Structure 1
Amino acid sequence: MTVPTKLESPVDIAGLANARADERYALHSQHLNEMWVRVLKTIGYDVGFNRGVGAYLYDRTGTRYLDLLSGWGVFAVGRNHPVVRDALIGVLNAELPNLVQLDVSALAGVLAERLLRYTPWLDKVFFANSGTESIEAAIKFARAATGRSGILHCAHSFHGLTYGSLAMNGDAIFKTGFGPMLPDAREVPFNDLPALEEALKKRDVAAFFVEPIQGKGVNIPDDDYLRGVADLCRKYGTLFVADEIQTGIGRTGAFLAIDHYGVEPDMVILAKALSGGHIPVGAVLTRKWVFDKVFDRMDRAVVHGSTFSKNDMAMAAGIATLDVIEQEKLVENSANQGRRLIESFKSMAKDFELVADVRGKGLMIGIEFGPPQSFKLKAAWNLLETVNSGLFCQLISIPLFRDHKVLTQVAGHGNHTIKLLPSLTLSDADCEWIETSFAAVIADAHRAPSAVWSLGKTLAEHAIKARLGA
């Protein structure tokens, strides 16, 4: 047997990252996305993070930040969780026969078994490498199962950025310049059952894709909406697909967001948090009859797949993540800390006219800002809106980051909502950090002139220059 020769000088990845850290923005400007580097520098986010643990990030000076973005919801169990890390190291040390392809993975079988315990009405799992790839698979499965071509989604939806999922994107900015889109993809308003029924009446829709809670804006449906969706889809022979890529794995204070509404979709899509933040993984959980319409004969056993989809590292990450979620009771923590934060923000809304609405479930929370009534604030608000709709939210997120070391995000392009999507490990001290920081920044925004509105003037000038191509 030939034994691989041990390298005299193995690659020191940590050393390499540290040695080139000061060049990161120059490297990205030259070889990757220069526009994104410009954005980071313009808004002051170029602090150079070099470490992440749990709910926290640390910059090059050792300053600690509270991460309420969590990699767009990827780090539900926190960054670099030791259980997930050790599981991955264990896979490498075991020298498993990974991706043989003309064999099957035991770990994939175990992860599928574990996931289906949460959806006992579903029978099969298809693994992919990401959320958007899982959506693509679900589109194909729905068309194969129903013999129909129509795909339906909601306004303001986000299901990914590859072509099938992009066709179901409710924000035009993501589609501009990339047309034509996938044919037979249509849009209906979110939380509107009459509009949905009208779209289904022709009986040409293979599947209706919906986020139980919309990520762009943290839009929450009426209590009876998803039950109505299930009934209408069944009535017209359309598959009901719940996109739980962002809302799943405990995010909303239940393992799945659909658990709040007591519905059983034909497919459930998972990704993001299932990865543990390390190895990308997506999953389509589906009914057996749907699955069997795709893989219906031995010569069609490989009609859909993905080279890396069931790799042992991704499967181990998923298994370890579920262990952490269960053992550390993170679903319960999400529900409890989310309830606390939502109540706190609603209390703030009573005192601050710029806070228009607070909504969320678990640790998926949106704070929406709206036009004020007082003259000085209204004039300043209108100026920003004239320059760029949704710019006001940067007057909240930037001071939160700069002055209070809290990392947040705006909930969508042209949106007036700040979204919280933190690790599900948040402590009481973390919640206090969030509450005091938001209260201070929002209070400052109600004083005009103030540092917040000076920032607004600067951002407006940058936006005008960008528009003029300066």
Structure 2
Amino acid sequence: MTLSIAQIIKDRAGENFDLHDKHLNTQMVKVLKTIGYDRVYTRANGPYLYDEQNNEYLDLLSGFGVFALGRNHPVVVQALKDVLDAGLPDMVQMDVSLLSGLLSEKILSLCPPALTRMFYCNSGAEAVEAAIKFSRFSTRREKIIYCDHAFHGLTLGALSLNGEEVFKEGFGPLLPACASVPFNDLAALEQALSGRDVAAFIFEPIQGKGVNLPDDNYWQEAARLCKKYGTLFVADEIQTGIGRTGKFWAIEHWNLEPDMILMAKALSGGFIPVGAVAMTQHIMDAVFNRMDRAVVHGSTFSKNNMAMAAGLATINVIEEEKLVENAARIGTEIINDLQALIPRYDFLKEVRGKGLMIAVEFGAPDSLLRKPAWLTLEAANKGLFSQTVTIPLFKNHRILSQVAGHGMNVVKFLPPLVVNDKDKDWILSAMDTVIGDTQKVGGAIWELGKNLAGHALKAKAGSN
């Protein structure tokens, strides 16, 4: 009997939530049902998702930044078909493949000139793990430092560099000799480096959790300090890279030249898991310094032909369709349009970001009428107010978004880089309406808030 995935999908359509509840993460199913995100999507195209009733949703989450090209871009689809049709030998292991060499050539042409070597893996977390190992070996130092509120992944090494305790709880002990420094604090960074025992400072040019931007001179001075004290300067561009911020690499906003760039997410257009590290010749030669060490670090599925072809196709699309330029233009206009709402709404405090990495931050109102409602939500669960924005954005305006991090009232937008002026207007209109509704204490938004607060308090009681 021939297996037909198309027929299986047709026959078992709509069983998504039952199957996940039975066999996968039950708590995730509960979350989606509680906040009303329990849709069954049946197809996707570009920045849009479609449910069983063919309703169109604008995806401002893009798989946590994976779908820079939107979903199912035909150029990447064709590249993957070409690989399958070619019948190529794949992952021979005792071999070197053409496509990985070609993708390396292309990526390195887009990096600072000192970066001349590539290492491939399967995810952003694996890229961080590689950076930890390469930094320690090439410097013969143990310590790794990172910034407060950083997010570098959830595998054990990457988790050791995570600035949010909620992800670490119960998973220790983590890697030794990993320590945080306050973000945007040069004095604290120099103090941490001054012992000349730090292998690497691993940083996000713009922090994903909260979309936190540095002062204008922070990264340049951080790079100078790392060089002064012999510490590697490692840019985690897993979310910010490949066009997201209106530059191919976010480091370009500050003219930085790191010792390594970590990449993943958007590199394959969202089709195939992939991660990579671009590095200097010195680091590569230090780690792989003899023939018997040629396989001292690797990953079984890295450099597979599907991922490499998808990477080549993705970069081709980004260049041909001028998506970096589109991200810069559309992103700036979205930020400016949303900033113009701030004087009208006292819950809305700040809109920030670069390109299509955007944060909308809310805070306590000055109004005596509205402040008690805000305090009630915050007492139930810090950051709960932001859900009174994301949920109606989704349910009433069919815009999928996320809260930017645990315990913060920041809504984050990571749209595909292909969004257009129509999508920009859709976002502005929806945000204007939803934020306006939050001003009406006692209205539907606040009924939602009370329900969310009730769930939050029950959850707290259950964990005690």
Deviation at 1:18, TM superposition (A): 3.0
Deviation at 1:374, TM superposition (A): 0.7
Query: Any idea what the Cα deviations from partners look like across 1:362-407, whole Å, max 9, x if unmatched?
Result: 0000000000011221000000000100000000000000000000
2 CA distance for matches of 1:168 and 1:244? 15
The equivalent residue for 1:81 is: 73
Aligned equivalent of 1:123, options 116, 125, 149: 116
2 CA distance for matches of 1:469 and 1:163? 28
2 CA distance for matches of 1:227 and 1:172? 28
Query: Any idea what the Cα deviations from partners look like across 1:171-204, whole Å, max 9, x if unmatched?
Result: 1010001001100000001111111000001111
Aligned equivalent of 1:56, options 24, 48, 67: 48
2 CA distance for matches of 1:467 and 1:21? 35
The equivalent residue for 1:19 is: 11
Deviation at 1:140, TM superposition (A): 0.4
Aligned equivalent of 2:370, options 377, 381, 384: 377
* Pair 1:150 & 2:149 matched: no
2 CA distance for matches of 1:280 and 1:36? 22
Aligned positions, number: 462
2 CA distance for matches of 1:88 and 1:232? 44
Amino acid at match of 1:59: D
Deviation at 1:415, TM superposition (A): 1.3
Amino acid at match of 1:364: M
Deviation at 1:441, TM superposition (A): 0.1
Mapping 1:432-443, distance limit 5 Å: 432-443=425-436
Q: Which runs of 5+ in 2 are unaligned?
A: none
The equivalent residue for 1:262 is: 255
The equivalent residue for 2:246 is: 253
Deviation at 1:331, TM superposition (A): 0.1
Deviation at 1:17, TM superposition (A): 2.2
The equivalent residue for 2:422 is: 429
Aligned-partner SS, 1:151: strand
The equivalent residue for 1:400 is: 393
The equivalent residue for 1:193 is: 186
Runs of 4+ in 1 over 6 A off after TM superposition: none
Aligned equivalent of 1:458, options 412, 436, 451: 451
Deviation at 1:268, TM superposition (A): 0.4
Aligned-partner SS, 1:252: coil
The equivalent residue for 1:299 is: 292
Farther off after superposition, 348-357 or 37-46: 348-357
Deviation at 1:459, TM superposition (A): 0.5
Farther off after superposition, 98-107 or 460-469: 460-469
The equivalent residue for 2:272 is: 279
The equivalent residue for 1:3 is: none
Deviation at 1:26, TM superposition (A): 1.2
Mapping 1:310-349, distance limit 5 Å: 310-349=303-342
Deviation at 1:95, TM superposition (A): 0.4
Query: Any idea what the Cα deviations from partners look like across 1:29-62, whole Å, max 9, x if unmatched?
Result: 1111000000000000001111111000001111
The equivalent residue for 2:105 is: 113
1 CA distance for matches of 2:325 and 2:399? 23
2 CA distance for matches of 1:460 and 1:222? 36
The equivalent residue for 1:90 is: 82
Aligned-partner SS, 1:51: strand
1 CA distance for matches of 2:398 and 2:6? 25
2 CA distance for matches of 1:103 and 1:23? 43
Mapping 1:214-253, distance limit 5 Å: 214-253=207-246
Q: Which runs of 5+ in 1 are unaligned?
A: 1-8
Aligned-partner SS, 2:302: coil
Amino acid at match of 1:247: T
1 CA distance for matches of 2:452 and 2:384? 8
* Pair 1:357 & 2:354 matched: no
Deviation at 1:13, TM superposition (A): 1.3
What is the RMSD computed on CA atoms of the aligned residues?
0.8
Query: Any idea what the Cα deviations from partners look like across 1:276-335, whole Å, max 9, x if unmatched?
Result: 110011110000001110000000000000000110000001000000000000000000
Aligned equivalent of 1:44, options 36, 41, 44: 36
Deviation at 1:209, TM superposition (A): 0.5
2 CA distance for matches of 1:18 and 1:439? 39
1 CA distance for matches of 2:146 and 2:208? 14
Amino acid at match of 1:47: R
Amino acid at match of 1:231: R
Using the aligned pairs only, state the percent identity.
Answer: 57
Amino acid at match of 1:116: L
Deviation at 1:19, TM superposition (A): 2.2
The equivalent residue for 1:204 is: 197
User: TM-score, length-normalised on structure 1?
Assistant: 0.97
2 CA distance for matches of 1:121 and 1:367? 36
Deviation at 1:223, TM superposition (A): 1.2
* Pair 1:65 & 2:95 matched: no
Query: Any idea what the Cα deviations from partners look like across 1:120-158, whole Å, max 9, x if unmatched?
Result: 220100001000000000100000110000000000000
Amino acid at match of 1:30: K
